[in-house]
Structure 1
Amino acid sequence: MSAIPFDNSYARLPGRFFARVDPTPVPAPQLISLNRALAEALQIDPDWLASPDGVPVLAGNAVPPGAEPIATAYAGHQFGHLVPQLGDGRAILLGEVVDRGGTRRDIQLKGAGPTPFSRRGDGRAALGPVLREYLVSEAMAALGIPTTRALAAVTTGANVARERLLPGAILTRVAASHIRVGTFQFFAIRRDTDGVKQLADHVIARHYPAAAESRQPYQALLAAVIERQAALVAQWLCVGFIHGVMNTDNMAVTGETIDYGPCAFLDAYDPATVFSAIDEHGRYAYGNQPAIAQWNLARLAEALLPLLAPETESAIAVAQDLLAGFVPRFETAYHAGLRRKLGLFMDRESDVALAGGLLEVMTANRADFTLTFRRLGAAAADPAADRDVRDLFIDPTAYDAWAARWRERLAAEPRPGAERRETMDAANPAFIPRNHRVEAVIAAAIERDDFGPFAELNTVLAKPYDDQAAFAAYADPPAEYERVQRTFCGT
């Protein structure tokens, strides 16, 4: 029996869906971190993974029995411009396993060497982006947001050339699958309708089995993907997350968050916030993410048109009707999330304006997004705690005016203060991967070969909704000199 119980389905699709390629060995792999709980959920022995037999697998130096390494093909719109062939240029899918819950999961090595899709790239990953993705993807999982997961990270013992020489690393990423909107585009661009159909059938069987029972399974597939993406982006906004590079090749059809490149979390609330150094025109700003998600889904609908109806005109009408459902689905999920964050249990029409009013005064006063909502929980239980919220506003009276409306609304559905606070704290994290903390972790690892800060931050982020007194400083916003203005992709 293999140490990893592979059962590979994507590798059984036709050869044009991928390229078969083995990882390129590295000189001196060393384990940085192993997600033992995730390994156990995947029915993989974590002690074996951490052993002299397992680490070479995580580094791409050994291909375990049952693996069928492939680099998948896909296209994509990058910042609105279509690139007909992208594909896994630095990622190799080892294979799939079925976890303890019966869900099929991909196991992929990111940074495992060049593939036929590398486009002159080296196929490697620098240490910084690997640590960022490990931390942020695991933090997102702890926040309860659908996401790819980090199983392990290793250093390679070799440098990679970016803006300067940097230590190389490999991330072992786990996902329900790595099928993207851009995967469908790859076949649609080539007018390979049979390829689109085979891919759609695979996705339905693997991720949306209920769609197979529909009279129009491909319409049901598109509707289901739209619904999941609407819910996902609503969750992003509720924790202040900015993906940073929402290209169609970075949108998974599973509804998981994927590809943590120049991602970041808001400090001061402002819907126009952009961190990504490559997003020069703010296309993927925090507040633009819902509209971009709908735009990306329209590209998926275009790829699926031949399957939606026999005639093009009818197919377009079906697609437009389904896409029109994105906004109400997103708004329903987002507004429900805001109500939870404000401690409201019942849906009232005025709640949207109440939440919007808070966000407006937060923007005007540069109030910290995470701390404002977290401290509201204490203020809901004890009005004396208003002072801690007021301190976050340049003009505290702006908060006072809003808080009077909020307390009037709370009084309309009375609850014990402790109960309301508990509910709010479960919706408002105390700890997020603040950008300055992530950058400090990366700097310690690169400049001092010190992974202690990485391990500690990972520990804190595993319990984002808990008050962790020993780590209270991790909840603080950055000082002026610590602010991170730009984040980078690292490819």
Structure 2
Amino acid sequence: MTAAIPFDNSYVRLPSSFYARVLPAPAPRPQLVKLNRALAEELRIDPDTLATPEGIAALAGNVVPRGAEPIATAYAGHQFGHFVPRLGDGRAILLGEVIGRDGARRDLQLKGSGRTPFSRNGDGRAALGPVLREYLVSEAMAALGVPTTRALAAVTTGETVFRERALPGAVLARVAKSHIRVGTFQFFAARGEVENLRALADHVIARHYPEAAGAAEPYRALLEQIIGRQAGVVSQWLLVGFIHGVMNTDNMSIAGETIDYGPCAFMDAYDPATVFSSIDAHGRYAYGNQPAIAHWNLTRLAESLLPLLAGDGEAAVTIAQDEIGKFPRAFKDAYVAGVRAKLGLADMRDDDLGLAQDLLDRMSANRADFTLTFRGLCAAAQDDRADAELRVLFDDPRSYDEWAVRWRARLHVEGREAAARGAAMRRVNPALVPRNHLVEAAIEAAVDRQDFLVFEQVLEALMKPFEDGPSDPMFYGLPPAGPGYRTFCGT
């Protein structure tokens, strides 16, 4: 008996060139690390069944649940600006799709479940550390309200994988609106397979953007809506200090979710040039570069869609340019709305972005902590005596004082009730994000000592990011000083 998962698969009905059928590789001694019971229930999957030996076997890839049709999907992509025509799922296998209680269709994928035809020289496995990182960060992003893939379960495999050193293996069962990427469109465009490109676009419209189907130009409407959705999600990254770390086109979801948490991290001291990824030697994917990279990636999507946008090449290019030209404004509108809320501004004024940018410039010059500064403003908006805790975050406290005069003058003009303003600000300025030292502490304890208690403690705290927690400096204070932090891909 295997876990009862209500599969309803649609991607496998596309042409066979879209994927390769492949079975997960069995794990010798699978053990459940964590099961997201609430998410399982949302997907109409019995969490108690998933926690049984049979359910764990399905999550590890040892058995294929009834109704699953395991595949590795094909895609291409620009990796650090260089086009690779054939990538695909090298260590992930899509079991199938489920329709949740909300009626939404979602993919269920096993990451780290063995080699596929797209593995190239990889082993197809995942180490425990990257699995726990993705579990923690993706679930934290969901709690922060950022569109994201979700973690259903983490399972250790009982085998060793070799990276810089020998590490325990693991599998992540993750859930997404879909795993279709910009690179999926690039795969068929590069091959000149226009009918497959059209089939993919029609599938994406039906699944993610049904309103585009009724437009006079459906594929143009599809491009426009993807651009708008991506502008929104990237603005949300910046508003919580998130750095994806590897924004290749094969890591940009068509559904507008954050996907593929490899060398990702959250910024402590504000600096738009912040980079954590060990493979991003030139800062291509630095925090402040993410909007421009999203724009670049979406331009690659528009190029891929040219054969569908118009029969005439010049007309198609004009349409693509018109739509891509909308990204900067869409991003700015979403971002400005976000910073306005973070600063407690209810009214729209032309100088709002200038006020926010002035603060950010001062934070950068003074190495002020991003999360603590904005959380501190929530109290300062109600009582200027709270400035004392904010001033000490700046190397030169007078820099904050000077800005606060402008900010309070702006708040005074609105005349909003202070308690209501502070409460609204606390709903958008988190007290806690997955700080790098917290994630690393959880990983180190699990990998080196087989102790998952720290992971559980960190996860529990991250599920309530907008609540003031206990005065535990590990979670809510300034991060410990230390050498430059680096993150690594899990491959």
Q: TM-score, normalised by structure 2?
A: 0.99
Q: Tell me the equivalent position of 2:283.
A: 282
What pairs with 1:355-374 in structure 2 (closer than 5 Å)?
355-374=356-375
Q: Tell me the equivalent position of 1:124.
A: 125
Q: Deviation digits for residues 381-437 of structure 1, max 9, x if unmatched? A: 110000000010000000000000000000011122211110111110000000011
CA shift at 1:473, angstroms?
Answer: 3.6
Contact kept? 1:104, 1:176, Cα under 8 Å: yes
Contact kept? 1:225, 1:254, Cα under 8 Å: yes
Q: Tell me the equivalent position of 2:487.
A: 487
Q: Tell me the equivalent position of 1:98.
A: 99
Contact kept? 1:436, 1:484, Cα under 8 Å: no
Residues in 2 aligned to 1:199 and 1:282: alpha-carbon distance in whole angstroms: 33
Residues in 1 aligned to 2:412 and 2:300: alpha-carbon distance in whole angstroms: 46
Q: Tell me the equivalent position of 1:322.
A: 323
Which residue identity does 1:268 align to in structure 2?
A
The alignment's C-alpha RMSD in Å is: 1.0
Q: Tell me the equivalent position of 1:179.
A: 180
Residues in 1 aligned to 2:229 and 2:205: alpha-carbon distance in whole angstroms: 14
Q: Deviation digits for residues 145-170 of structure 1, max 9, x if unmatched? A: 00000000000000001111100000
Q: Deviation digits for residues 247-298 of structure 1, max 9, x if unmatched? A: 0000000000000000000100000000000000000000000000000000
CA shift at 1:467, angstroms?
Answer: 1.0
CA shift at 1:472, angstroms?
Answer: 5.8
Which residue identity does 1:487 align to in structure 2?
T
Same amino acid, percent of matched pairs? 66
Residues in 1 aligned to 2:121 and 2:354: alpha-carbon distance in whole angstroms: 51
SS in 2 for 1:158: strand
Residues in 2 aligned to 1:485 and 1:2: alpha-carbon distance in whole angstroms: 40
Pairs aligned (count) = 490
Contact kept? 1:60, 1:109, Cα under 8 Å: yes
Moved over 2 A (4+): 470-473
Contact kept? 2:226, 2:255, Cα under 8 Å: yes
Residues in 2 aligned to 1:47 and 1:6: alpha-carbon distance in whole angstroms: 18
SS in 2 for 1:428: coil
Q: Which runs of 5+ in 2 are unaligned?
A: none
Residues in 1 aligned to 2:477 and 2:317: alpha-carbon distance in whole angstroms: 49
Residues in 2 aligned to 1:293 and 1:398: alpha-carbon distance in whole angstroms: 32
Which residue identity does 1:162 align to in structure 2?
R
CA shift at 1:2, angstroms?
Answer: 6.9
Are 2:468 and 1:467 equivalent residues in the alignment?
yes
Which residue identity does 1:423 align to in structure 2?
A
Which residue identity does 1:490 align to in structure 2?
G
Q: Tell me the equivalent position of 2:267.
A: 266
Contact kept? 2:306, 2:316, Cα under 8 Å: yes
Q: Tell me the equivalent position of 2:246.
A: 245
Residues in 2 aligned to 1:472 and 1:256: alpha-carbon distance in whole angstroms: 32
Residues in 2 aligned to 1:72 and 1:470: alpha-carbon distance in whole angstroms: 46
Which residue identity does 2:95 align to in structure 1?
L
Q: Tell me the equivalent position of 2:393.
A: 392
Q: Tell me the equivalent position of 1:351.
A: 352
What pairs with 1:16-415 in structure 2 (closer than 5 Å)?
16-415=17-416
Residues in 2 aligned to 1:116 and 1:470: alpha-carbon distance in whole angstroms: 50
Contact kept? 1:432, 1:475, Cα under 8 Å: no
Residues in 2 aligned to 1:214 and 1:475: alpha-carbon distance in whole angstroms: 49
Residues in 2 aligned to 1:182 and 1:458: alpha-carbon distance in whole angstroms: 32
SS in 1 for 2:186: helix
Residues in 2 aligned to 1:155 and 1:414: alpha-carbon distance in whole angstroms: 55
Residues in 1 aligned to 2:5 and 2:471: alpha-carbon distance in whole angstroms: 37
Which residue identity does 1:401 align to in structure 2?
E
Which residue identity does 1:486 align to in structure 2?
R
SS in 2 for 1:122: coil
SS in 1 for 2:390: helix
Contact kept? 1:435, 1:484, Cα under 8 Å: no
Residues in 2 aligned to 1:208 and 1:248: alpha-carbon distance in whole angstroms: 20
Which residue identity does 2:376 align to in structure 1?
R
Which residue identity does 2:259 align to in structure 1?
I
Residues in 1 aligned to 2:405 and 2:430: alpha-carbon distance in whole angstroms: 24
Residues in 1 aligned to 2:76 and 2:273: alpha-carbon distance in whole angstroms: 28
Contact kept? 2:343, 2:377, Cα under 8 Å: yes
Q: TM-score, normalised by structure 1?
A: 0.99
Contact kept? 1:74, 1:249, Cα under 8 Å: yes
Residues in 1 aligned to 2:63 and 2:456: alpha-carbon distance in whole angstroms: 26
Which residue identity does 1:169 align to in structure 2?
A
Residues in 1 aligned to 2:263 and 2:101: alpha-carbon distance in whole angstroms: 32
CA shift at 1:477, angstroms?
Answer: 2.5
Please identify, of 133-142 and 1-10, the stretch whose mean Cα deviation from structure 2 is larger: 1-10
SS in 1 for 2:117: coil
Residues in 2 aligned to 1:336 and 1:391: alpha-carbon distance in whole angstroms: 28
SS in 1 for 2:53: coil
Residues in 1 aligned to 2:35 and 2:209: alpha-carbon distance in whole angstroms: 31
Which residue identity does 2:489 align to in structure 1?
C
CA shift at 1:485, angstroms?
Answer: 1.7
Q: Deviation digits for residues 368-390 of structure 1, max 9, x if unmatched? A: 00000000000011100000000
CA shift at 1:469, angstroms?
Answer: 1.8
SS in 1 for 2:54: coil
Contact kept? 2:3, 2:55, Cα under 8 Å: no
SS in 2 for 1:109: strand
Which residue identity does 1:488 align to in structure 2?
F
Contact kept? 2:3, 2:58, Cα under 8 Å: no
Residues in 2 aligned to 1:384 and 1:486: alpha-carbon distance in whole angstroms: 37
Q: Which runs of 5+ in 1 are unaligned?
A: none
Residues in 1 aligned to 2:113 and 2:402: alpha-carbon distance in whole angstroms: 55
Residues in 1 aligned to 2:309 and 2:439: alpha-carbon distance in whole angstroms: 44
Which residue identity does 1:409 align to in structure 2?
R
Q: Deviation digits for residues 334-371 of structure 1, max 9, x if unmatched? A: 00100000000011001111000000000000000000
Contact kept? 1:460, 1:471, Cα under 8 Å: no
Seen in structure 2, the aligned counterparts of structure 1 residues 140 and 73 have a Cα distance that, compared at 3 Å, is same
CA shift at 1:471, angstroms?
Answer: 4.9
Contact kept? 2:469, 2:476, Cα under 8 Å: no
CA shift at 1:77, angstroms?
Answer: 0.1
Residues in 2 aligned to 1:198 and 1:124: alpha-carbon distance in whole angstroms: 31
Which residue identity does 2:477 align to in structure 1?
D
Contact kept? 2:342, 2:374, Cα under 8 Å: yes
Contact kept? 2:60, 2:171, Cα under 8 Å: yes
Contact kept? 1:434, 1:477, Cα under 8 Å: no
Residues in 1 aligned to 2:3 and 2:90: alpha-carbon distance in whole angstroms: 27
Q: Deviation digits for residues 221-258 of structure 1, max 9, x if unmatched? A: 00000000000100000000000000000000000000
